[in-house]
Amino acid sequence: MEISQYADEWGPELVYEVYDAKTGLRAVTVIDNTARGPGKGGIRITPTVDVTEVWRLARTMTWKNAIADLPFGGAKSGIIADVKGMSIEKKKQMIEAFAKALRPICPKLYIAGPDMNTGEKEMQWFAEANGKWNSATGKPENVCYKPGERCGIPHEFGSTGYGVAIAAQIALEHRRMHLNGASIAIEGFGNVGTFAMKYLVEKGAKIVAVSDSKGTIYNENGLDYETLMKVKQESGSVTSYQHGKILPGSDVFELPVDILIPAAVPDVITKENVNNVKAKIIVEGGNIPMHDDIEKILHQRGVLVVPDFVANAGGVISSYAEYRGHHPTKMFELVEKKISKNTKLVLKKSKKENVAPREAALAIAQERIKKAVEKKEEKAGNK
């Protein structure tokens, strides 16, 4: 599909395609909207990522940064490659080639960050090859611009998962339900899923199911976080957990739980399985886990869906904290404050206007972007 068919008043502003013959790098960066600031969005590496997926994710980042009230616009990058079996050196070469190719637009128009198959080390490689400290966030904690200040805040700290846990708590309160004892199923046990489980368990929730690429482990009495983490690290899959039923991976979406947290790949709730969803609340930990029309179907059935760009904004709030040179403690305070405030704002507007939460969130985000555009125009007019 041609990216031009998606163009509207919000963007995209720039599609930047990269090919490097030496490393075999094939990649794309989509800068969707820079009204509020430089485009902010992570780099994902998968064999199937394409310009359409990257644009959809970039648009999500436009809304996410606006709803989090950050001075960033929306952008995203994708590298088309299979990391399975890829050497660290090969991956490093690709990241470095990409960082060098983006020098004309980064960090003025684009600031990178971690996403699928990239983490703190990749962000360090990117920043060093790009030549600008602030060209990427999510760098290792010990990577500092100057000794003792402006250090990295890696997403491995769990900022996104922490924000998802906060959003889940607010959603339950909105429905006059209690987090303590609430049953929760989590799809995906990567950075977002593991930390969402950790923080939710600490708050008293009962995680009854977790899935990964090998399947789902389910125990209606709850799963033990520490044991599950150990099993995952040692065996490579949650399905090796001894105390529960092993189910197909797709079954995680159809379990009778209070909250379902899709926290992995896009488009997992579809027309084929939406009618089998039994959760009362869905908190979107991963980006674009379903299309908007699927969310509308769930809303009409009375399922409360907290949109991705509201629930999983912890990562980009962490990025902002790093960008400003804050300490990780300050980062967690910002994530809790902003996720809590904006989730309440969105759910209150949704209920008051009788619209789906995504519609309410979009209206808030778009209004903030319009004000930023007006401010820019007014400033330009006064020059």
Per mean pLDDT, which range of 31-40, 76-85, 147-156, 374-383 is the poorest? Answer: 147-156
Among left, alpha and beta (phi > 0; psi -120 to 50; other), residue 303 is: beta
- Fold match, 3-155 / 159-314+342-363: yes
CB atoms closer than 10 angstroms to residue 302: 7
Give yes or no for residue 1 having a pLDDT over 60.
Answer: no
- At residue 147, the pLDDT reads 52
Residues 6+ apart with CB under 8 A from 315: 42, 113, 114, 138, 155, 159, 160, 163
Q: Who wins on pLDDT, 258 or 1?
A: 258
What's residue 227's pLDDT?
Answer: 97
Judge contact between 18 and 29, C-beta under 8 A.
yes
Task: Kindly state the DSSP code that residue 4 receives in the 8-state scheme.
Answer: G
pLDDT band at residue 375 using 50, 70 and 90 as cut-offs: confident
Lowest mean pLDDT among 25-34, 68-77, 315-324, 337-346: 315-324
Task: Give the mean pLDDT of 170-191.
Answer: 96
Mean per-residue pLDDT over the chain, rounded: 93
Mind listing the pLDDT tens digit for each residue in 134-164?
A: 999 999 987 766 555 567 888 778 999 999 9
Task: Provide mean pLDDT across the span 164-176.
Answer: 98
Q: What pLDDT, on the 0 to 100 scale, is given for residue 380? A: 74
Identify the band that residue 3 occupies on the pLDDT scale cut at 50, 70 and 90.
low
pTM summary value: 0.88
Mean pLDDT of 170-196: 96
Q: Are 152 and 123 in contact (CB under 8 A)?
A: yes
In CATH terms, is domain 3-155 a member of 3.40.50.10860? yes
pLDDT value at position 366? Answer: 95
Instruction: Please give the pLDDT value at position 148.
Output: 54
- What does the pLDDT read at residue 46? 95
Residue 43: pLDDT over 50: yes
What is the per-residue pLDDT for 141?
A: 86
- The question of whether 108 is a catalytic residue gets the answer no
d(C-alpha 146, C-alpha 144), whole Å: 5
Q: In this structure, what DSSP letter does residue 345 have?
A: H
Q: Which contacts qualify for 54-57: CB closer than 8 Å, 24 or more apart? A: 54/28, 54/29, 54/30, 54/78, 55/3, 55/6, 55/12, 55/15, 55/30, 56/266, 56/288, 57/30, 57/287, 57/288
| 259-262: strand order across its sheet | 245-247, 215-218, 206-212, 183-187, 259-262, 281-283, 304-306
Over residues 206-253, the pLDDT tens digits come to 999 999 999 999 999 999 999 999 999 999 999 999 999 999 999 999
Query: Taking residues 6-29, what's their average pLDDT?
Result: 94
| Mean pLDDT score, 56-65 | 93
CATH topology of domain 159-314+342-363: Rossmann fold (3.40.50)
Per-domain residue ranges for the chain? 3-155, 159-314+342-363
pLDDT at 41 over 70: yes
* 349 pLDDT more than 50: yes
pLDDT at 5: 75
What does the radius of gyration of the chain's CA atoms come to, in whole angstroms? 20
* 126-132: Cβ within 8 A, 24+ apart: 126/43, 126/95, 126/96, 126/98, 126/99, 127/99, 128/96, 128/99, 129/95, 129/96, 129/97, 129/99, 129/100, 130/99, 130/100, 130/102, 130/103, 130/106, 131/103, 132/106, 132/107
At 155 the pLDDT is 77
Note every long-range contact of 196-201, with CB atoms under 8 Å and residues 24 or more positions apart, other chains counting. 196/161, 196/162, 196/164, 196/165, 196/168, 196/261, 196/263, 196/285, 197/161, 197/225, 197/228, 198/158, 198/161, 198/225, 199/158, 199/161, 199/162, 199/165, 199/166, 200/165, 200/168, 201/225
- Structural tokens at position 21: 């013959």
Return the percentage of the chain with pLDDT > 70, whole number: 97
The dihedral formed by the CA atoms of 78, 83, 88 and 93, expressed in degrees to the nearest 10 = -40
CA angle 203, 172, 165 (to 5 degrees): 45
Catalytic residue chosen out of the listed positions 22, 40, 64, 76:
76
Give the other-Cβ count within 10 Å of 369's Cβ: 22
**pLDDT attached to residue 145:** 62
pLDDT at 150: 64
- Per the DSSP assignment, residues forming a β-bridge with 8 are 11
Tell me if 64 sits within 8 A of 117, measured CB to CB.
no
